[in-house]
Amino acid sequence: MAKRKKARPRAYCGFCGHEESAQRLLYRSVTQAICAECVVLCEDILQEPPERPLKHADLQKIRYCTFCGWTLRDAGRFVYGPCIGICPNCVAFCAEMNAALGGVEAH
């Protein structure tokens, strides 16, 4: 019987918008992805205390971590991309995978 092969949708990093490639690993959630370089960036952001309060528009738009579904109240803090938010837990998780894979270095 003929089985239709589903074309795999192209994956883009929700932060920088770059497409997945051999050099660019993406860590995927159900609906979004983040590349290794942006994971490093998120780690940097999380090292610093939040200087500015979140914009109201951000809170309206992104109330859940795009990767694990945690709410902002659960996570305490998100790192925001143009259309996604990621909680510190998921940043740490991706960073661990990144390190395990010998991925992108911080500098």
Instruction: Return d(Cα 103, Cα 48) in angstroms, integer.
Output: 23
67 in contact with Zn ion (CB under 5 A): yes
Instruction: Return d(Cα 70, Cα 84) in angstroms, integer.
Output: 13
Strand-pairing partners, residue 19, are 12
Site for Zn ion in 74-93 (CB under 5 A): 87, 90
Window of 30-38, 43-51, 52-60, 94-102 that interacts with Zn ion by CB under 5 A: 30-38
For helices 88-100 and 36-47, the axis angle rounded to 10 degrees is: 130
Instruction: Return d(Cα 102, Cα 96) in angstroms, integer.
Output: 10
Nearer to Zn ion, 38 or 46 (CB): 38
From the CB of 88, what's the least distance to Zn ion, in Å?
8
Nearer to Zn ion, 84 or 87 (CB): 87
Binding interface with Zn ion (CB under 5 A): 13, 15-16, 35, 38, 65, 67-68, 70, 87, 90
